[in-house]
Amino acid sequence: MRLLCMFERTFLVALIAPGFLAAQQPPPGDAPPVTQPALPDAVGTPLPSNWTKMSVKEKFRYDARHLFELDNIIFAGMGAALDQERDRPGAWGEGWGPYFERYASHLGQYAVQRSIAFGVQAVDHEDARYFRSTKTTLGGRVADAFLHTVWRHDDSGGMMPAYSEFFGDYGAAALSRYLWWPQRFHNGKAVFIAGSDTILIDAGINLFHEFTPDIKRRLHLGR
């Protein structure tokens, strides 16, 4: 019953949030003309030559297409396993049943996070696409992947703070803790820890996207 209630609340929020925020998007005619950037950005990852600005509709399609990619499913399972190992929350117990309940919690929180993030991106002209680093050192590429979590491209090809990351991660953390986690997690400290954990997970996903093509080439698994 608690799991069913969790899903009902999660997807209610997930359905309402993007529509409410995207409705505040100004008309396309109000946006300044976009010019193709010629120089690398501050993170060290120049935009590809075929880069184009995405409309709000294209951002929605992009987010919908990437909502439940395999890496996100895997990271949610890893997060659930970590919570299981730490017995968090303890009221949910141990075993396979509680593990899948924690797994559902992570997936639900992620769905809410992406919904909030899309709404913010529609309003602040943020481009959440990840562009791989052009740096040649391991440290430089790792640093770019982490920095790109909180510092991203905007619709004109420049750079801006990743407001959608912060609003999405901490907003979803707050909703999940207050909607379906036990009452002792209904506080700012629990929300801050959960939101910060999500930022680190998103940085890990950036690392995954940064180095996966190299791994595939070494294993001859594709281009």
| Tens digits of residue pLDDT in 153-192 | 899 888 899 999 999 999 999 999 999 999 999 999 999 9
Please give the pLDDT value at position 166: 96
Average pLDDT of the segment spanning 87-95: 92
Q: Is the dihedral of CA 114, 115, 120, 122 positive or negative?
A: positive
User: Can you give the C-alpha Rg of the chain in angstroms?
Assistant: 19
Of 6-15, 65-74, 88-97, least confident by mean pLDDT is 6-15
Question: Mind listing the pLDDT tens digit for each residue in 115-149?
Answer: 999 999 989 999 988 888 888 899 999 999 999 99
Q: How confident is the model at residue 83 (pLDDT cuts 50, 70, 90)?
A: very high
pLDDT at residue 46, as a whole number? 63
User: Tens digits of per-residue pLDDT, 27-58?
Assistant: 444 444 444 443 344 444 566 666 788 888 88
pTM: 0.75
